Amino acid sequence: MHYLDTNVLIYACVNQDDGKMKQSQDLIRELQNRNKLILSPLSLQEFVFTLSKINVHKDHIKNNYKAFACFCHYPIDAGLLNDAVEACLELNFCKNINDMVHLKFSEQYCSELSTFDKDFMRLHDISHIKINVL
């Protein structure tokens, strides 16, 4: 299974960069077609928050949320959050706690994570999954 960081969803739905939009849309489409896409509750929460923050119309948010929500099948439980906090404290990475939660979630359910966030490059060496910085 393949996990997408929230920024991939944002770029797919809001044209901030033509190349990133196309790349995101192509990746999402490919994963959907192969039935390999997984998202977390955190991804969806950040997605709605970010689109609201950049003043995207509520109907666009609602429609895209519904399209992505069907790929969210697993919760973020206290154990996963504890693992993320321990790892971020060890790496002095707690300003990026959400990134660590994304990583720990993807490690539990996926073999691969894709993101545009270069901060994830710091996490290559501590993770057993493939991290693609697009």
Asked if 84 contacts 100 with a C-beta cutoff of 8 angstroms, the reply is: yes
pTM of the shown model: 0.94
Cβ partners under 8 Å of residue 90, min gap 6: none
| Mean predicted lDDT score pLDDT of the chain | 96
Give the long-range contacts of residues 100-106, CB within 8 A, separation 24 or more: 101/40, 101/42, 101/76, 102/3, 102/5, 102/6, 102/40, 102/42, 102/43, 103/127, 103/129, 103/131, 104/80, 105/3, 105/40, 105/42, 105/74, 105/76, 105/80, 106/3, 106/38, 106/40
The residue-averaged pLDDT of 52-62 equals 96
In angstroms, rounded to a whole number, what is the distance separating the alpha carbons of residues 26 and 102? 21
Question: Which CATH fold would you assign to the domain 2-133?
Answer: Rossmann fold (3.40.50)
pLDDT (tens digit per residue) in 8-46? 999 999 999 999 999 999 999 999 999 999 999 999 999
HSE of 50 in the Cβ direction (CA atoms, 13 Å)? 19
Question: What residues does each domain of the chain span?
Answer: 2-133
